[in-house]
Amino acid sequence: MKKHLLYLLILAFMLCFGVNATAQGSLTHSFSFQEGTPTDDVTGEDAILIGDAFIDGSDLILPGGDSHMDMSTMGFEINSYEALTLEIWATSEAGANTGFTMLCYLGGSTNGLGTQGCFISAARGDDVSRGAISTVNMSAPYGEAETGANGPEYDDGTFHSYVLTIDESFLYFYIDGELQGEGDLAIVGNGIWGLSNDFAYVGKGGYTADPCWIGTIHKFNIYNAALSEGEVADLTVDPNVQINNVTLHGNNFKPDIYTANNRINISLNHTGFNSGQAELFNITGQRIANVNFNNETSIESGRGLYIVKVKANDKIYSQKVVVQ
């Protein structure tokens, strides 16, 4: 390929061009909702939608009440992992999550309390986000019984990605690719080995009195490895970044990327660059179109979350695209 060949890749969820092979190889369960069903893309098994939960396009919609996705019968056996990563992409309904909510929970429940579990929270009653594990204390598994890390609360109605990694010694919590904090498992004695396989939820926690989370889940992944900080960064697209200046042949240009009527519209107009082509992929990795340079291309995409990646002069530019 020529040095200055420009590729445009539309990716989402499972399509991970340029992502570290460790992350790809350790993926054990993945829910991207691409077929309009709560199917695990790795095992082919279906989770159960509870309450008013439904799938719209390629998103899981959790409108409130008891709405959540239940994966408890799918036999995850998380406590057999030597290391663990939970990754979830979510957009809250702004201001709707004022209680102690969880985006995802894997563990047990004893007397209404979330015991022997791990979780990711985006918004809580104490106004923080949190990733934590608690496996030792069965009577009061919260607070100091947890090994965890906090970040800013996000109940703002915008897209964020959350990652929790746990190995034999430490826990790390990331939001939008940025490390929020870490926890030393040895202080309390918590560990993956102590996790219960009883329950596995998206949008619901292990505490029966707590409300379900309200918003949209774009994807949920489980890995049997603790991804590194670099691997987490590879999985993440900053929701605030737009592709503004792509350098090509020493000049800058801005691709015009916008959505309308369930279509993604892309204009690649750059004076003096007439060779090569871009490729357009759907979220399963199937090529669905070629995008020619110096033309406008409109692709019927359907509702969902997409990522535009532009590669020029060996540099990659990324931008999130949401089709409503």
Domain layout of the chain by residue ranges? 7-14+239-323, 21-227
Q: Where are the beta strands (DSSP E) in 155-243?
A: 159-166, 170-175, 178-184, 199-202, 215-223
The domain 21-227 is classified under which CATH number: 3.30.450.70, 2.60.120.200, 3.40.50.10600, 1.20.1250.20?
Answer: 2.60.120.200
pLDDT at site 9: 38
- Burial classification of residue 82, based on how many CB atoms lie within 10 Å of its CB (0-12 exposed, 13-18 middle, 19 or more buried): exposed
- Within this chain, domains 7-14+239-323 and 21-227 share the same CATH topology: no
Angle value at C-alpha 157, between 220 and 254, nearest 5 degrees = 85
Average pLDDT estimate for 7-24: 41
For residue 239, what pLDDT is reported?
Answer: 47
Mean pLDDT along residues 21-39: 79
pLDDT at residue 141, rounded to an integer: 98
Model pLDDT, residue 15 = 38
- Max alpha carbon distance in the chain (Å)? 69
Report pLDDT for 130: 98
Q: What are the structure tokens assigned to 315, written together?
A: 């540099």
- The topology (CATH level 3) of 7-14+239-323 is Immunoglobulin-like (2.60.40)
State residue 312's pLDDT score.
Answer: 59
Find the helix or strand (DSSP H, E) in which 316 lies: strand 315-323
pLDDT at 94 > cutoff 70: yes
Q: Are 102 and 121 in contact (CB under 8 A)?
A: yes
Give pLDDT, residue 186.
Answer: 97
pLDDT digits (tens, 9 = 90+) for 223-244: 999 999 988 887 765 544 455 5
Task: Name the pLDDT band for 320 (thresholds 50, 70, 90).
Answer: low
Q: Are 69 and 51 in contact (CB under 8 A)?
A: no
pTM above 0.85, yes or no: no
The whole-angstrom distance between residue 156's C-alpha and the CA centroid of its chain comes to 17
How much of the chain exceeds pLDDT 90, in percent? 57
Tokens of 68: 């959540």
> Cα separation of 117 and 62, whole Å?
22
> What confidence tier does 159 reach under pLDDT thresholds 50, 70, 90?
confident
